[in-house]
Amino acid sequence: MAATGPAQDRRPLIDRTTAAEAATRVLRDIILSGQVAAGAPLRQDDLARRLGISRTPLREALQRLEAEGLVRLDVHKGAMVAKPSIAQVSEIFELQEVLESLAGRAAASRRTAADIEELRGILGSHIPIDDPTAWAAGNADFHTRLYQISGKPLLVEMIGLLRNRSWLYVHMLARSADGRHRADHEHWEMLAALEAGDAGKLQSVIVQHLRTTLEWLKSVIGE
C-alpha cells in the first residue's frame, strides 16, 4: 500500500508560493503607506529576516512589485523603492489612452444588460470606500470589468499590464478625497455612455478621465 501522510506532503511548494504572495502584499502596503521613503534601498537580508522568509520568495515578491512600478531592481545597487516620475507616468497614460479607447469603443457595441448591472454594482459598493488601498482595488475592478466587455482578451491583458505599472500613481490619487470623488463621477459617466451604446461618448470620457488624472499627478509629483 502506498504511504500516506506527512511524508508525501508537498506543502513546501505551496508555502513558497504563499510566502511570495504574502511578502508582496506586506511590502506593497509598506511602500504605499510611506513607511519607506521613495528611493530608499530595500536590504534583502534585512527584509527576509523581518518577514521570516528565505530570499527566494522575497526575490519573487520584489520582481512582482517591480512589475507594478513600486520597486526598482538595479544590478549594482540592488532593490530600492521607486520614485514617482512625470516622464514614466506620462508614457503609461499615453499608452493607456490609446488602448483603453479601443477597448471602450468595442465594449459599447457588445454590452449587455447584465454587464451594466454588474458594473453598477461594482460602483455602488466602491464609491463609499474611504480607505485608499481598498478604493484603488475597486477602481481596478471597475476598469478591468469594463474592458473585458470588449471581447478582446489580448487588448485587456495589455491594458492590465499598464495598469499594474501605474499602481503607484493610482494609489497617489486614491489618497486624495477630491481625486477619488472626481474619478468616481467620471466612472458613472463611463457607465452611462456604455449603457447608451455611445462609443464616441465613452471614448471621450475615458480620454478625459486619463488626462485629468495625469495632469493632477504631474502637479503632485512636481511639488
H/E stretch holding 28 reads helix 11-32
Q: Where are the alpha helices (DSSP H) in 33-75?
A: 44-51, 55-67
Q: Residues 113, 212: one domain?
A: yes
Q: Residues 190, 92: one domain?
A: yes
Residue 8 has pLDDT above 70, yes or no: no
Residue 14 has pLDDT above 70, yes or no: no
Q: Residues 214, 132: one domain?
A: yes
Structural domains in the chain (count):
2
Give the distance between the most distant pair of CA atoms in the chain.
Answer: 70
Q: Residues 73, 95: one domain?
A: no
Residue 20 has pLDDT above 80, yes or no: yes
In-domain check, residue 21:
yes
What range defines the domain where residue 46 resides? Answer: 12-81
Residue-wise pLDDT for 156-211, tens only, equals 999 998 998 888 899 899 989 999 999 999 999 999 999 999 999 999 999 999 99
In-domain check, residue 115:
yes
Count of other CB atoms within 10 angstroms of residue 203: 20
Last residue of a domain, one of 81, 113, 132: 81
CATH code at 135? 1.20.120.530
Residue-wise pLDDT for 84-121, tens only, equals 899 999 999 999 999 999 999 999 999 999 999 999 99
Q: Residues 42, 91: one domain?
A: no
pLDDT band at 223 (very low <50, low <70, confident <90, very high): low
Q: What is the percentage of the chain residues whose pLDDT exceeds 90?
A: 55
> How far is residue 144's CA from residue 150's CA, in Å, rounded to a whole number?
10
Q: What is the percentage of the chain residues whose pLDDT exceeds 70?
A: 91
pLDDT score, position 10: 47
Q: Residues 77, 93: one domain?
A: no
**Residue bearing the bigger pLDDT, 91 or 50:** 91
Residue 5 has pLDDT above 70, yes or no: no
Residue-wise pLDDT for 119-129, tens only, equals 999 999 876 77
In-domain check, residue 2:
no
> How far is residue 161's CA from residue 143's CA, in Å, rounded to a whole number?
13
What would the grid cell of residue 200 be? 464616441
H/E stretch holding 72 reads strand 71-74
What would the grid cell of residue 168 be? 503607484
pLDDT band at 77 (very low <50, low <70, confident <90, very high): confident
Q: Residues 73, 118: one domain?
A: no
pLDDT band at 67 (very low <50, low <70, confident <90, very high): confident
Residue 4 has pLDDT above 70, yes or no: no
CATH code at 36? 1.10.10.10
Q: Residues 65, 131: one domain?
A: no
In-domain check, residue 111:
yes
